[in-house]
Amino acid sequence: MYLHLGEDTAVRADGIIGIFDIENTSVSKHTKEFLAAAGKSGQVKNVSYDMPKSFIVCSEKGVKTVYISPISAATLKKRGKAGFPSARY
């Protein structure tokens, strides 16, 4: 199953490590450092130029990617549960 992150971007749901609310988590020093390091190494992909509401950390074939999405973490979580009713989120 794939999870649509906005615009023309979808990722394999089984490759998602975490979905995070950007407003609540970006106040943490550790999150800021993580996002800065991912940006420096070219691992960040903006899904849209709209206001970011979440970031999604994925790993596929050992390559980590951080997607910045205009879709809220709560909406992405609901979409994931719809596709995987027994999954834990």
Contact 22, 68 (CB under 8 A): yes
The answer as to whether 88 is a domain residue is no
Pairing between β-strand 63-69 and β-strand 44-46 as defined by DSSP bridges? parallel
The answer as to whether 70 is a domain residue is yes
Question: What number of CA atoms fall less than 13 Å from residue 46's CA on the CB side?
Answer: 6
The answer as to whether 89 is a domain residue is no
Sites in the chain below the pLDDT cut of 70 = 82-89
pLDDT in tens, 40-59: 999 999 999 999 999 999 99
Helix (H) or strand (E) holding 33: helix 29-40
The answer as to whether 87 is a domain residue is no
Token reading at 55: 């970031």
Look at the chain and report how many structural domains it folds into: 1
The answer as to whether 28 is a domain residue is yes
pTM of the model: 0.87
